[in-house]
């Protein structure tokens, strides 16, 4: 019975947009951000750019989404410092399920501090907050291999 309750909670907390644009395959981003305002703004921007966004408010949700996800997730975009579990540990657990998943970490802390403290693996991409929406979309396009900065 507890498992059904957890599934409902995860489902109700996730904002999913499932549409196709001009017959192109959409890329899916799993966004894990504990700050509601930041998460909402990022969802809006990414959806406007043509991405499908699976948005979660904490790491446990992100892991559960990956365990339940029937489709493909192209990229994990996650905050580093969150309550309950940090972004690195969550990314490691998710990559056990989806080993090819690309990861972009974001944080208000500098990359140097996070790498030296073991919070971020230097082999993954990093965005330091605050960043512009243009910087965000360019970084995602770069990581996903979109040369024009938009969804393929």
Tell me which H or E stretch contains 125.
strand 125-128
Domain containing 113 equals 2-17+27-143
Split into its structural domains, the chain has a count of 1
Tell me which H or E stretch contains 30.
strand 28-32
Burial of residue 48 (number of CB atoms within 10 Å: 0-12, 13-18, 19+) = exposed
Q: 150 lies in a domain?
A: no
Residue 91 pLDDT exceeds 60: yes
Q: 85 lies in a domain?
A: yes
How long is the chain? 152
pLDDT in tens, 9-60: 443 334 433 333 333 358 999 999 999 999 999 999 999 999 999 999 999 9
Q: 149 lies in a domain?
A: no
Please give the span between the terminal C-alpha atoms of the chain, in angstroms, as a whole number.
Answer: 42
Q: 148 lies in a domain?
A: no
Residue showing tokens 């993954």: 124
Q: Model pTM?
A: 0.76
Q: 109 lies in a domain?
A: yes
**CATH code of the domain containing 66:** 3.40.50.2300
CA torsion sign for 6, 15, 66, 18 is: positive
Q: 152 lies in a domain?
A: no
What percent of the chain lies above the pLDDT cut of 70?
A: 68
Q: 151 lies in a domain?
A: no
Please give, one letter per residue, the 3-state secondary structure of 75-123: EEEEECCCCCCCHHHHHHHHHHHCCCCEEEEEECCCHHHHHHCCCCCCC
- State how far the Cα of 134 lies from the Cα of 152, in Å rounded to an integer: 17
- Looking only at the bridges linking them, the beta strands covering 75-79 and 125-128 are unpaired
């Amino acid at each position: 019975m507890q498992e059904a309750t957890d599934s409902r909670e995860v489902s109700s907390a996730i904002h999913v947009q499932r549409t196709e644009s001009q017959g192109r395959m959409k890329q899916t981003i799993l966004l894990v951000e504990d700050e509601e305002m930041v998460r909402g703004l990022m969802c809006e921007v990414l959806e406007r750019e043509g991405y499908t966004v699976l948005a979660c408010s904490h790491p446990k949700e992100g892991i559960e989404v990956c365990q339940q996800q029937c489709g493909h997730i192209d990229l994990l975009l996650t905050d580093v410092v969150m309550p309950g579990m940090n972004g690195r540990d969550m990314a490691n657990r998710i990559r056990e399920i989806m080993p090819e998943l690309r990861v972009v970490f974001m944080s208000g802390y500098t990359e140097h501090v996070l790498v030296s403290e073991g919070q971020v693996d230097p082999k993954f991409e990093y965005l330091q907050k605050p960043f512009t929406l243009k910087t965000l979309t360019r970084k995602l396009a770069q990581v996903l291999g979109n040369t024009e900065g938009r969804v393929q």
